[in-house]
């Protein structure tokens, strides 16, 4: 039973750690399926986390923080769209610029407004998304096997966790069962054909960029108001880049993206749990190596285990309408 509890706690940590990856991965899915590569997921998540932590600290409302995070992230997404869609700029350069802007601006504003080294004030529970106990969780806690699974693994998460996993089937439905999804996939493969059909390619791509911004904002808000209790400098810690890796690992498909994010979340959870614990034949592994483990395994998985990942054909290429 102790082993089961330990395993469930590990899986519980996996779910919590995979949520920002999943939200950012789905965000990149919308954008890249439309032909707009977005390496700025990291920056939008970071800016969203700062906005959520700041507004939640000022107004004492996690929902206000979530709204602020979405607005700031969408604004950065529109900047990326303006540079890469309207002006046909280099999408990689634009995304990297957003990452740098977010990394610097959040620290400068945080220090100017709160004088805590770039942090925002710690949030009370009333200004955070708190865990939700599902019906019957306490009653089923003592039931063998099923009870601990329901109580430890399924129940006890914030509303943003459940939202993130519900967005997976919703995204699948949008992409494969709606007119918008059909056009979104088509514009990522052959924008000229979509344009010939009378659909505005720039407007369709802008909508994809907005969807991307919304999801990145929710991911940032989760980091600052659900997983954490405020904004901390560079709190995304490369999650945007890992989300991009998960997106490639999943070959731009939503259900596979969820499993890829759960895999990376599991690696992160294992690395955290193994810190300071001696390993057989090796002894105690340095903390720095355990912290680097998820990133090392990300490279290994991408390099040797996914096969050939073919991105959308029009991805990263500015569309010029023929006259």
pLDDT in tens, 196-255: 888 889 899 999 999 999 999 999 999 999 998 899 988 998 889 889 888 988 888 999
Asked whether residue 247 is assigned to any structural domain, the reply reads yes
Residues 6+ apart with CB under 8 A from 36: 80, 81, 84, 85, 91, 205, 208, 209, 315
130/225 Cα distance (integer angstroms): 9
Phi/psi of residue 279, nearest 5 degrees: -110, 150
Q: At 263, which CATH number?
A: 1.10.3470
What digits encode the pLDDT tens for the residues 148-195?
788 778 888 899 999 999 999 999 999 999 999 999 999 988 888 888
* Model pTM above 0.85: yes
* Residue 2 predicted with pLDDT over 70: no
Distance (Å, whole) CA 243 – CA 42: 9
Residue 22 lies inside a defined structural domain of this protein = yes
Question: Which CB contacts under 8 angstroms, 24+ apart, belong to 108-111?
Answer: 109/50, 109/54, 110/50, 110/54, 110/231, 110/233
Radius of gyration of the chain measured on its C-alpha atoms = 20
When comparing pLDDT for 285 and 24, which is higher?
24
Percent of the residues in the chain that have a pLDDT greater than 90, as a whole number? 46
With tokens 């004030």, the residue in question is 121
pLDDT in tens, 38-51: 899 999 999 999 99
The whole-number pLDDT of residue 214 equals: 96
| Count: domains in the chain | 1
**Would residue 277 count as lying in a domain?**
yes
**Per-residue pLDDT tens digits for 26-79:** 999 999 999 898 899 999 999 999 999 999 999 999 999 999 999 999 999 999
Please indicate, yes or no, if residue 162 is contained in any of the structural domains.
Answer: yes
| In a domain? residue 315 | no
State residue 55's pLDDT score.
94
Asked if residue 310 belongs to a domain, the reply is no
Has residue 164 been placed in a domain?
yes
Domain of 258?
2-127+135-302
> What would the DSSP string read from start to end of 90-143?
-HHHHHHHHHHHHHHHHHHHHHHHH-STTPPPPPPGGGS---BPPTTHHHHTTS
Residue 309 in any domain: the answer is no
């Amino acid at each position: 039973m102790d082993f089961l509890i330990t395993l469930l706690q590990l899986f519980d940590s996996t779910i919590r750690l995979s949520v920002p990856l999943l939200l950012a991965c789905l965000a990149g899915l919308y954008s890249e399926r439309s032909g707009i590569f977005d390496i700025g997921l990291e920056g939008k998540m970071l800016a969203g986390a700062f906005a959520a932590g700041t507004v939640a600290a000022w107004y004492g409302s996690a929902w206000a923080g979530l709204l602020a995070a979405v607005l700031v992230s969408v604004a950065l997404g529109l900047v990326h769209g303006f540079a890469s869609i309207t002006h046909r700029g280099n999408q990689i350069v634009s995304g990297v610029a957003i990452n740098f802007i977010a990394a610097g601006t959040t620290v400068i504003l945080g220090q100017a407004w709160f004088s805590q080294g770039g942090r925002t004030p710690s949030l009370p529970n009333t200004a955070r998304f708190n865990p939700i106990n599902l019906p019957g969780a306490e009653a089923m806690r003592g039931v063998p096997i099923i009870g601990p699974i329901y109580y430890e693994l399924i129940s006890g998460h914030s509303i943003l966790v459940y939202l993130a996993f519900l967005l997976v089937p919703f995204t699948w439905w949008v992409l494969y069962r709606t007119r918008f999804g059909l056009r979104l996939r088509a514009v990522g493969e052959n924008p000229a054909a979509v344009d010939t059909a009378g659909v505005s390619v720039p407007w369709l791509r802008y909508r994809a960029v907005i969807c991307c911004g919304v999801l990145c904002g929710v991911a940032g808000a989760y980091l600052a108001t659900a997983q954490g209790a405020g904004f901390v400098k560079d709190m995304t810690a490369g999650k945007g880049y890992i989300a991009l890796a998960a997106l490639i690992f999943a070959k731009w498909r939503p259900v596979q993206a969820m499993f890829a994010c759960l895999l990376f979340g599991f690696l992160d959870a294992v690395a955290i749990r193994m810190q300071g614990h001696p390993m057989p034949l090796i002894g105690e592994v340095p903390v720095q190596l355990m912290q680097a483990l998820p990133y090392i395994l990300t490279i290994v998985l991408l390099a040797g285990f996914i096969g050939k990942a073919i991105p959308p054909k029009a991805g990263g290429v500015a569309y010029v309408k023929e006259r």
